[in-house]
Amino acid sequence: MPAVTSTARLEARISKDLHSMLKRAAEIQGRTMTDFLVSAVHDAAQRAIQQAETVRLSLVDQERFANALLSPRKPTAALKRAFARRHKLLRAE
C-alpha cells in the first residue's frame, strides 16, 4: 500500500504578465502550471538552502584554514583553564 503524503496549499498574488509568462513556460515544457511552479520553487529553495549552508573561502583563507588544521597553535593558559573548568563542570553533572 503506497504511503499517503500530506499536502499544504500555497497561494500567491502575481501580476497578469508574470502569470502569462509562467503559463507559457509550463506549456513549452508540456507540464501543468502547478507542476511547473512546484518544480521551480523546489529547485529555488534547494539552491537557497545550499548557498546559505556553504562556506566559501578565498584561496588565501583556504590556505590559512588548512594550515591551522595541520599546525594548530599551542593552547594558551586561558584555554587550558577553560578546558579544566569544562571538565569539572561535566564531571559534576
Mean pLDDT within 2-17: 90
Could you give the angle at the alpha carbon of 47 between the alpha carbons of 42 and 52, nearest 5°?
130
How many angstroms separate the Cα of 21 from the Cα of each of 4, 35, 55, 81? 33, 15, 35, 63
Q: In this predicted model, what pLDDT tens digit does every residue of 27-84 receive, in sequence order?
A: 999 999 999 999 999 999 999 999 999 999 999 999 999 999 999 999 999 999 999 9
Model pTM greater than 0.95? no
How many angstroms separate the Cα of 1 from the Cα of each of 4, 5, 62, 84? 9, 12, 50, 56
How many angstroms separate the Cα of 37 from the Cα of each of 19, 21, 44, 50? 11, 12, 10, 20
Specify the residue for cell string 500555497. Answer: 10
Domain boundaries, the chain: 16-53, 59-92
Going by pLDDT thresholds of 50, 70 and 90, the confidence category of residue 92 is confident
